[in-house]
Structure formats: structure tokens, C-alpha cells
Structure 1
């Protein structure tokens, strides 16, 4: 029933299942493992540029006229005509409102009649004085009588002068029934309407001059020191943020606003047709104190063992260097030590690096030059070696 096997053939058959895996394992052990490739991480860098430490702040405000007049009539009366509306452009001498001139004209006529009566009295006194002069020459009257006639003439002449002054004043009063613009500008408000009786000097029309404009902003008390070290002031309109307009701080309020607790600051700007009253504006104030620093993005900072550091790229590898932060400008920080101008600092991927790691620069940012940075100016290197 069973085939007969010799002893050698039986041993070979039993050993075959064991030899096949063993041979396969030996062959696998003879293959050499592939070398592990070094990890090279992509990063973004920026080249450092040196300059003075500065701070740049932005405040929102609105464009206002430097001069705004609240015009009113010099005499009282009833308004019978309004010739302008809010927003109307006016020229010097344009009539804005009129009062009812009837009472003023009657007063002017009365003053004119009083002047004529005084002139008549003077003419009579003058003729009488001349007659008495002739009589005195013939020695028909005494010198005392002639002196009395002369005094009467002088009093009559004084009455004429007084009546003439009153007539001129009343004529001016009649002219005050028309309210005219005293300068070129734009009407910003109407405080009285037709039919209203106003007192002398009561404001009825507001006119803002358009030749000089300024931007009014509010600054918190902890930023007032920046105004003393201001090196540059620029204004950008919300309607056109690409255009920068040079500004100059004209006035700083000595008292804080009781509601906002900010100090009102007025920044004068040159006259430009595109700058209109009421526009929203952004005032950018830059200050400096003379110290040198380097400006880097906020994303470049790394907190390591309680110290602020950055990654420097040197010969294709990175090295962590502690730095000293001098301040912040917008989304950037100012470094006052630990690095030097011209070095490349990693700005993206800083939390995935380690000392000596090879890196590949994705995009080399354009070097930040001092003359293009608001808070960085002047050549030189930040202190502090490596």
C-alpha cells in the first residue's frame, strides 16, 4: 500500500518545507536598506534692514473746515427771504437771507428829515450871524450880541453834524437787512427760517470756508508723548486710500474730552479739490527716538524657554538666535539686538524647525529698505552680535 522510500530520499522530502523559508530569509537579509533622506523643510524668509526705532499709529477722523462762521443779522427783525440751502457753494458778497426792511427804511427817512431840519436851522443861524457882523461894523450892535450869534451858529452846525451821523448810521442799519457771505465757502447749516423773528446777532446761517481744511482726531492720553517725537504725519481718505496727503499737527487740545477721555488733535492739510468736508480720513502718525532697530513680521518670533528668538538661515540651515524686542509697528515688531542687517530670518514655518535643520526657501521677500518703511530710517546695524 505505501511506496517504499529510501532513507536519503525520505530525509530530503522532510527537509524541503523547512529549507524554502530559510533560503528566502537569507536572500532578504543580503539586500542592503535604502539610505534615509534628510528632511528639508520649505520656509519663507525676509532680509533685515536697519533703521531707527519708531512707532506708527493710525487714528480715524473727519475732514472739517478750519474756519466756520455762524452768521447773524446786525439788526433784529422778521426774516422774509432765504436764498441758500445747506450744501450750497457761496461767494463773498452773495446774499444769504433778508429781513423785512420796512421799519428800517422808515427810521432812515426820519433820520434824513432830522438832518434837513438841522441844516435849515444852521442856514438861518449863519444868515443871522452875517447880518450882525455888518451891524457891528457900523457900530449899531455891541460885540456881545455878535458873540451870541456866533455861538448860535456853532451850535446849529453841531446839530447838523449829529443829524448827519445819525442819518448815516440809520442808512447802515437799513443795509443790514440783507445778510451776505463774508468769504467764499459752503453753507453747512441753517438755524432760522422764513417768518421767524430774530434778535441782533442771533446765528441764522453757518458758512464754512473751503480754502483751509483740517482733519480732527482723538488721541488717548498714553499716546500724547508720540506727538512730541513726531517725524511724519500723513493723511489718507477712506474714499481713496491709495493717495497719501502730507499733514501737519496744528493744534492739540490741553483738556481731554469728558465723554471719550481723548485729546482732540487738529491736523492741517493742503487744499485739494478731492478733499471734501465731512469725509472720513485716516491720520497716520510716525515717531522716532533715535535708537536703531530691525523690523520683522510678527510671525517670525518664537518663544523658547521664556526668551523671544528668531530662526536665521545660514548656508541652507537654520539657527535659533535670541533677540530683543524694541516695539511694534502695525503687524511687525522692531528688534533692537541679537541680529544684524542683511541676515535672513524665517517668517513662515518657524514652529516646525530645529537647530541645524536644512531648509529650502520658497520665496525670498524683497529686502525692507529704510526709505520705504515708515518706522525704519537711516543706515546701520542693530547692536548685539550673534
Structure 2
């Protein structure tokens, strides 16, 4: 038992000395978090504003053709992609009912002409009797009125006959202009109503490019006159374009506004449906500040940049005014001469100290020669 107490005493002394040393030691100094960032000094310059959108080649005029009368389709003469000429037959209806209607109108016309001829002869006889004073003038007036009524019936019957003849001609659907068939919406045996489109024909001639533009770029791009078009099939060929039409209402599905860009100088081998790139280019009228996309910070629908002052960063909201190549144009929030972070901004917070990294694109400093003189 005395031996156990002798063993515990040195242990307790060692523990007490350890606690005393820990209490007397100073706490370790905290190292300040200084993050390295890459920066740039803002400057205002005249820049080229450009925007590029994808679209497809479409005809300037595309007609949806349909029969002017109803009936059953008995023949289809064209397929999708077929080239057609003006007056070429596209489809035909069963003409039987229309022919019967034409024959009925013809019979009504002959009956009206017979009645007119009889009224005319009757009026002539009574005029001869009037000369001999056998009848009164009132009888002559009645006979002349009957003749004029009969003539009016003939005129009406003639108009009805001509209309029915046109109806019979409407049983054949023909192309109203040279072009290409882009769609066929009815087949043989189908009964169609008057005016229902059955064939779609794209007129030969001028073509255009149709693109969708975001609503915040509509007014800016509407004023740009330097428009060029490149086809995906022939990227080396540049076709001058011109904005012909801007949709007044946004597309309900994409929420973009449709631009129609005319290409009047396009070669005939430009095919409908080809993919095209439309490039809008313009030089800004006033100097603009441009920054790379990596300098922007997006949070809660607010776009900001990190401004560096005395090696301390501050988040400053900015307003974007367009794009210039791979850079973004800023029109409000910052001014020339300020320094903004362009890389390393994802982990920053307001008031944080930073260390500026050297710009890799800056020219290297001249190496010093022995003796302190530059080489």
C-alpha cells in the first residue's frame, strides 16, 4: 500500500505541471484569410456589338391552297418536294355533282330565253294593234313590262349558269405560281369542305431566314443594319441580309420575338429548311465598359461585380447593355479606372482582403543585367 502511494505522487505532480504550462502558454495567432484573385482595370472603349442567332431558311411567300368547293378527292398529282409550274394540276375532286348543277343552270337559262322570246313577240303584236288603234296604250305598257321582266330573268339565268360553270371548274386545284410543294394535307378518297387547305406551295424566288430573338434584345437588334448570314452547309459563304419583319407579339411557347431576315442576293441553290446563322454587327456610338463573363456574379436575379479598393473587395450591382464578342458590356454600376475581379470570385465575401495576381497577358518585365543596368 505505501508503494502504491509512492507511485501515484510523481504522476500527480507531472499532471499538475502540465496543466500549469498549458495555462501559461499564449494562444496561437489566427492567420488572416487573404485570397488570391486576378483583376483588370476598367476602361471605356468603342466596341463592336455583335449577336448571333440560329434559324432556318424559309420561303418569302408560302401559300396554303384549297378547293373553292367541297367534294371528294379523286386524284392527287403531286408529292412533297415536287417543283410545280403556274397552272399545273395539283388535285381533283369528283365533278359529277358539279356537272349536274351546271346542266340544271343551263336548262334554266334556256327556259328563261324561251319566255323572253315569247314576251318579245307578244309585245310586238300588240304594238301593231296599237298602230291600228285596236288596243289601248295601257295594254302596250303591260306587254313591254312583261318583256323586260322576261329579259331580266334571262340575265339572272345567265349569271347563274356562269357561276355554276365556274363551280365545275373549281373541281380542279391548280398552282397559282411557280414553286415547290412543301406539304400535302389530304389524300384520295377524303371529303373536304370549301376553303380547307390541302396543299402548301412555297413560291419560287426570294427566301428569308427566320430566327427567335429574346425580348431584351429586340429594340437593339431592330436598329442594326449590318446583318450577315452564313449557312451551316457552306460556312465560308457570307450572304448579306436585311431585317424585313419583326413580330409584334412574342411566341407563346419560346417567349421570343420572330425576326424575318431577307436574303435577296442568295444563290438559287440555297434550299428551304437549311440551318443558318444570322450575325448582327454594329459599332457602339459611345464608349462602353466591357468585362469578361467570368467577372459577373449572379445572385437573386441581381448581376454584380467585385470591385477591389485597397486590396479589399466590395460587391457592386451593375447593368448589362449587350455583348461584344466574348465580353459583356456594362452601362451602369461601375466607371473607368476601377479594378474588378475577373477570376477567383466564387468564394469572396464583402470586405474580404485579396492578393492581386499578375496578369498572364501582360508583357514580361525586362530582366536586369549585372550591375543594375537593364539589358
TM-score interval, smaller chain: 0.5 to 0.7
Q: Which runs of 5+ in 2 are unaligned?
A: 1-43, 294-306, 310-320, 338-357, 369-375
The CA deviation string for residues 252-305 of structure 1, in whole angstroms up to 9 with x for no partner, is 22222222222111111114212111000000011333135899999xxxxxx9
Matched residue of 1:144: which SS?
helix
For the 8 Å contact 1:238–1:279, the answer to whether it is kept is yes
Using a 3 Å threshold, how does the CA distance of structure 1 residues 184 and 358 change in structure 2: closer, same or farther?
farther
Q: Aligned partners of 2:190 and 2:217: how far apart in 1? A: 48
In 1: Cα distance, 2:234 partner to 2:138 partner: 88
Q: 1:357 aligns with which of 343, 346, 366?
A: 366
**CA distance 1:148–1:287, change in 2 (3 Å):** same
What are the superposed Cα offsets for residues 1-31 of structure 1, whole Å, 9 maximum, x if unpaired? xxxxxxxxxxxxxxxxxxxxxxxxxxxxxxx
| C-alpha spacing 1:135/1:183, structure 2 compared with 1 (3 Å) | same
Q: CA RMSD in A?
A: 3.2
For the 8 Å contact 1:230–1:288, the answer to whether it is kept is no
Aligned partners of 2:199 and 2:208: how far apart in 1? 21
The equivalent of 2:137 in structure 1 is 143
Determine the structure 2 residue equivalent to 1:222. 216
How far apart, in 2, do the equivalents of 1:333 and 1:254 lie? Answer: 27
Point out the more displaced range, 225-234 or 207-216: 225-234
Partner residue of 1:108 out of 88, 102, 117: 102
Change (3 A) 1:194 1:107: same
| Aligned counterparts of 2:361 and 2:229: Cα–Cα separation in 1 | 41
Aligned equivalents of 1:199, 1:352: Cα separation in 2: 71
CA distance in 2 between counterparts of 1:237 and 1:51 reads 32
Out of 196, 204, 209, the position equivalent to 1:210 is: 204
What pairs up with 1:8-23 in 2 under 5 angstroms? none
> 2: CA distance between counterparts of 1:121 and 1:225?
71
Q: For 2:268, which of 256, 270, 273 is the aligned residue?
A: 273
Contact 1:293 1:337 in 2 (8 A): no
Tell whether the 8 Å contact from 1:119 to 1:160 is kept in structure 2 after alignment: yes
Contact conserved, 2:222 with 2:243, CA < 8 A, in 1?
Answer: no
Which residue of the partner structure matches residue 70 of structure 1? Answer: 64
CA gap of 1:237–1:110, structure 2 versus 1, over 3 A, is: same
Query: Which runs of structure 2 are paired with 1:275-354 in the superposition (5 Å)?
Result: 275-291=270-286, 306=308, 329-331=324-326, 351=360
TM-score (norm 1): 0.66
Seen in structure 2, the aligned counterparts of structure 1 residues 181 and 358 have a Cα distance that, compared at 3 Å, is: farther
Asked if the contact 1:118/1:163 (under 8 Å) is kept, the reply is yes
Is 2:59–2:207's contact at 8 Å kept on the other side of the alignment?
A: yes
CA gap 1:122/1:350 in 2 versus in 1, 3 angstroms: same
1:118 aligns with 2:127: no
TM-score by length of 2: 0.67
Q: Aligned runs of 1:186-265 on 2, under 5 Å?
A: 186-265=180-259
Residue 47 of structure 2: which of 50, 53, 61 is its match?
53
Larger Rg: 1
Structure 1 residue 212: Cα displacement = 2.1
User: 1:227 is paired with a residue of what secondary structure?
Assistant: helix
**CA distance in 1 between partners of 2:133 and 2:363 (Å):** 132
Secondary structure of the residue aligned to 1:200 is coil
Shift of 1:91: 1.1
Which residue is equivalent to 2:81? Answer: 87
- State the number of aligned residues: 280
> CA separation in 2, counterparts of 1:206 and 1:353?
61
